Amino acid sequence: MLVGSANADDAGVYRISDDMAMVLTADFFTPIVDDPYWFGAIAAANALSDVYAMGGKAMAAINIAALPGSEDFREIKKSIGQGGFDKMTGAGGPIIGGHTITDKEPKLGDAGLGSITPGRNLDKTKARPGDGRGLTKKIGTGMLATGVQARRRRAGTA
């Protein structure tokens, strides 16, 4: 193990050989947008971003989902799946399977797999004062989405 839970990173890194290590991650959350397609795409992007943050290359992912089992949710499930599939396939890390359970509140995520050369990972222990940062979205986006979600729950609309 090159990077484990002691680092407080969003992914782990495990050495396979002298020239190959695997980046492993999982992300899982409730909907932060109303559009099912984009919910699937955002879930996939979150798993991909953990692999990229470590300096890795996306290889594959497995979906993890808790979704309503009702017939009227069938088309929504298809759209969620398509969003995740499109995002992962476009990044070169196809979804190769997954597991779904029935739950009244939708939850979706991915377990992502990437590759990296050992010692080239960008874990938090390597950060130094003055290092540059690359932001892919505005700071606080997650907090805003969580706040909107909480408000919807209190209002009974989510």
What is residue 2's predicted lDDT score, i.e. its pLDDT?
A: 79
pTM across the whole model: 0.76
CA distance 39 to 31: 6
pLDDT digits (tens, 9 = 90+) for 65-121: 998 888 878 888 899 989 999 998 888 888 888 898 999 888 999 999 999 998 887
To the nearest 10 degrees (0 to 180), the angle between helices 74-90 and 36-53 is: 30
Name the residue with tokens 């759209």.
Answer: 79
Q: What is the enclosing helix (H) or strand (E) of 26?
A: strand 20-29
CA dihedral 67, 71, 75, 79 (to 10 degrees): 10
Q: Amino acid identity, residue 143?
A: M
Residue 24 is encoded by which pair of tokens?
A: 């492993």
pLDDT digits (tens, 9 = 90+) for 35-57: 999 999 988 988 888 888 888 89
Which one-letter DSSP state was computed for residue 105? S
CA distance 61 to 91: 11
**What value, to the nearest 5°, has the Cα angle with vertex 153 and ends 147 and 155?**
105
